[in-house]
Chains A and B, each alone.
Chain A
Amino acid sequence: MSAAREEVLGRIRQALSRDPAGEIDIARSYRRTAALHGAELVDRFAERAEAYKATVLRVDAAGLADALERLRGRFVVPDDLPEEWLPPEFIRDHRQLGHRDLDAVDGVVTGCALAIAETGTIVLDAGVGQGRRAITLLPDFHVCIVPVERIVASVPEAVAALRTSLPRPLTFMSGPSATSDIELNRVEGVHGPRRLEIIILGETPD
């Protein structure tokens, strides 16, 4: 294989050989932060997530218990999901569950690494309270708990914060899966979970 490697690298060096020396500067005049704070930040996230047909609830600690109480059926949860975040009927995943087991449960409850207000996105990084990727993929219903302090304003702020998550895998989710492949009609729910519920947890700051 290394013959191919040397040849491709050689062709690249040849192709670049007549270029002037020195690097091309990267233009960084774009925004690195967005001016969104407090209630406005949380509102924006809620509104943008709803625009993708995710269900959004906003609760305090007592409200969370009620919201979880309503969940019917068997939910898989990561092995380190906090006690207060558990639905009535759950199975903890210690990686003992096979793909068919995950396919057979009614839903999954997780936390998240962070959420992005401007795009209505949640990001999972396989960290605490999130589990491995397969558990949020095979069940048909994903309930994601987003503590308000995890919401950032913009994509650049999210990317900066996620540097320390690597090399763990990252999944950005913006609403349930969707397709527009048939006559451009949007259909929510193709292969991932067909329903996404986002529970924003905590006092909305002023």
Chain B
Amino acid sequence: MASAAERHTFPELAKRAVADTQLRRNIGNATQTIRAKRAAVVAEVPDWEDLREAGRSLKEHTLRSLDRYLVQLEEAVTKAGGQVHWARDGAEASRIVIEIAERHSVKEVIKVKSITTEEIKLNEALEAAGIRPFETDLAELIIQLGDDVSSHILVPAIHRNRAEIRELFMRKLGLTELSDRPSDLTAAARTYLREKFLTVPMAVSGANFGICDTGTICVVESEGNGRMCLTLPQVLVSVMGVEKLVPTWEDMEVFLQLLPRSSTGERMNPYNSFWTGVMPGDGPQEFHLVLLDNRRTDVLADRTGRQTLNCIRCSACLNICPVYSRTGGHAYHSEYQGPIGAILTPQLHGMESAASLPYASSLCGACYEVCPVKINIPEVLVHLRTRAVAQSGFTLEKLAMGAAIRMFDNPRLLETAQKIARVAQRPFASDGYITGGIGPVRQWTKARDLPAVPSQSFRDWWRTRR
């Protein structure tokens, strides 16, 4: 993922992705389909805006007293028979999981899709310790068998088509006959994984919510692989970021409405599992909860950036984003993609490793409008750009950004600037698109087809019509 010396910047990767037409078509179809489904089920809810406000305020309320809520959750989970562990970073979390596996002499674990465990590279750590992780989400299985990287937080294998998946399954699952119908491919995965579910004694999951007053953990999913992992093995370990808390059970009435409609565009996703510690005779008889920091407390310390921790990972901002729907997820070079990735990755992995990501946006604001917990992504982007620029010293971009903020605040200034731009761009505009430019504009247009400022602005045109 984002490496110490960001080897590939967003502009380089985006250019490559946009050139790949198959990928573009898949991502384009996917985002369009989910967008339409989401819009339809959101329109059905008369109090959607009230729910968003409740979601935002619940998250901000919880973050403001995060220390107290974490201690409350720890107590409740422990009382219910679970064991709670704290991890300062990814390496520490991975060590905790490996120690539990070793104590049970486990050589294989089954996994439910979890971006948090991707973030901490748990699979690599398990493999290094001689423990084989099996991803059980269909898309994750496709990714794992293909030695591939996720491109969307909700549908990670969206860049693969059915022919590629068929070929992969035949080769890796040792099948001699298989059609490329999605139902047949799914059935092949069911058969392969059923045996794993029945025999592997330990599971690792993430968590969507940790409910502080009851110590209940929640995982939402579609395929039933989550229920399998949460129910059948003897030992269950859930790795959860410290920000995923809700104060009380009743608060789930908000998130159980916001999340499924924003995420898969369904009224409710097929399965939601809730469990509280250990239930004798039902499910795993040993439960561990690993509370992970991994720089989340740094994000918390930044009062503008902090709202990033409200995120419930619904992926609505990816599907609506004009940049994401053209480039796909790989360009972000991170387990978190799209608009949320552009603000979360640099904060979690460090500005030095992902300094180009805050620029992977046109600041159009669509992500803010769809976000179920009202994260003002454009605001955080601009804030992080300022931080990135501050770290790299004074540049023209800094000047331009400062000017841009002032302009969007002031329509008169914007109009004047557009007039100046129309004159200034003349030598570079061809076919209505700016392709070259100098200085900051050149940097900008390297990876963006910047639409040329039309010879007459909308405001000018409107005035002449009247």
Contacts and interface: CB of A to CB of B under 8 A. Distances in A.
Contacts of B282: 126, 132-134, 168-169
A103 B191 CA distance: 12
Given A9-B71, A182-B162, A103 B216 contact: no
Interface string A163-178: 1001111111111111
B270 interface: yes
Interface stretch (B84-92, B332-340, B348-356): B84-92
A12 B223 contact: no
A132 B230 CA distance: 13
Interface stretch (A22-30, A64-72, A83-91): A22-30
A171 B274 CA distance: 6
A183 B87 contact: no
B267 A118 contact: yes
Interface in A127-166: 132-134, 137, 155-156, 159-160, 162-163, 166
Q: Most chain-B CB neighbours within 10 Å: which of A121, A162, A183?
A: A183
Given A15-B300, A26-B54, A183 B161 contact: yes
B47 A159 contact: no
B271 A182 contact: no
Contact of A190 (B142, B190, B251): B190
Interface string A45-80: 000100110000000000000000000000000000
B39 interface: no
A10 B158 CA distance: 41
A29 B86 contact: no
Interface in A92-133: 95, 99-100, 103, 116, 118-121, 126, 132-133
A27 B54 contact: yes
B61 A25 contact: yes
Contact of A133 (B186, B197, B198, B227): B227
A192 B276 contact: no
Lowest 6 A-B CB distances belong to which pairs? A192-B224, A191-B224, A167-B276, A177-B224, A15-B301, A11-B297
Contact of B61 (A24, A134, A166, A172): A24
Bin chain A's interface residue count: 35 or more
Chain A at the B interface: SS class: loop
B250 interface: yes
A159 B61 contact: no
B267 A163 contact: no
Contact of A172 (B47, B242, B257, B268): B268
Given A12-B70, A171-B227, A190-B224, A166 B270 contact: no
A9 B67 contact: yes
A5 B67 CA distance: 10
A100 B161 CA distance: 34
A30 B54 contact: yes
Interface in B194-249: 194, 197-198, 214-216, 222-225, 227-228, 231-232, 242, 249
A179 B85 CA distance: 33
13 contacts: A9-B70, A9-B71, A15-B300, A30-B54, A31-B50, A134-B232, A169-B279, A171-B227, A171-B272, A182-B186, A191-B136, A191-B197, A192-B270
Interface stretch (B25-33, B119-127, B320-328): B25-33
A181 B139 contact: yes
Given A4-B92, A137-B224, A159 B256 contact: yes
A182 B293 contact: no
Nearest to B278: A167
A39 interface: no
A139 B327 CA distance: 42
B44 to A, nearest CB: 9
